[in-house]
Amino acid sequence: MDIILYLSNGYPTMESSIQMAREYVDAGCRIIEVDFPSRDPYLESDLIKSRMAKALENCDDYDAYMEEILTIKRQNPHTKLLLLAYENTILEIGVDKYIRYCKDNGFEDLLLVGLSGNEVKQKIIDAGLRVSCYVQYQMLEEEIASAKDSNGFVYLQAKPTPGQGYVNPKYPTLKDCVEGLRASGIQRPIYCGVGVHAPEDVRMVKEAGGDAAFVGSTILKLQEDIPAMKAKIREFAAQC
């Protein structure tokens, strides 16, 4: 199992993002989720929204971000990069251009968010790229069906959030959720995130049968203290 760390790309500069990726890898991270900052990141937390806004304030040229991501890839050849982009960003880049970029550079696992319909997602899948799908902790039937019809990894919510509503009595624990997805026929990787804030949460994901755990804000908030951040990353990685 692995941890997946989130890289706020371009925050506060692209040069600092390149360095941050190196720090992640040096601390033991083998998978990094790299974002394209969106002009309308309406699904994100205030923390991520503010970072994306700052990144675009410093550089709003997506071609520059594409080159910078290639620099991260070249400098960390044994690290898997998952690219996250909003549909609105991909439309601005150009769907065909985005697909060529991913295929030409070996970025095969994508997180596509903020969909207005299915057209862009289907075009990317038809091109042979893998698009992740999100399944909430409630294990809604329509989301399980969507996951079965997708071709990328499943992003499974690791913990219910306050006010989210009921917990499905058929799947009261994360282990039950993972086993339920497997029983439905999904054999692709299941990565668990949302609510993974402490090393014991990574251990929970491992014991549940997840293939990786997304760790986000806990690490992002330590980036002003690199030694403390790397020590925390090692704590998370040790649970794998």
Q: Residue 15: pLDDT above 90?
A: yes
pLDDT of residue 162: 80
Please give the average per-residue pLDDT across 35-50, as a whole number.
Answer: 95
pLDDT digits (tens, 9 = 90+) for 103-117: 999 999 999 999 998
pLDDT of residue 163: 76
pLDDT of residue 106: 96
Q: Residue 1: pLDDT above 80?
A: yes
pLDDT of residue 28: 96
pLDDT band of 139, cuts 50, 70, 90: very high
pLDDT band of 72, cuts 50, 70, 90: very high
Q: Are 44 and 98 in contact (CB under 8 A)?
A: no
Please report, as a single letter, which amino acid is at residue 6.
Y
pTM of the entire predicted model:
0.95
Please give the average per-residue pLDDT across 213-222, as a whole number.
Answer: 96
Average pLDDT over the chain, rounded to whole?
Answer: 96
pLDDT digits (tens, 9 = 90+) for 203-212: 999 999 999 9
Q: Residue 192: pLDDT above 90?
A: yes
Q: Residue 136: pLDDT above 90?
A: yes
Domain extent listing, the chain: 2-238
CATH class for domain 2-238? alpha beta
pLDDT digits (tens, 9 = 90+) for 164-184: 777 899 999 999 999 999 999
What are 86's strand-pairing partners?
A: 113
Alpha-carbon distance of 137 to 135, in angstroms, equals 7
pLDDT band of 43, cuts 50, 70, 90: very high
Q: Residue 215: pLDDT above 90?
A: yes
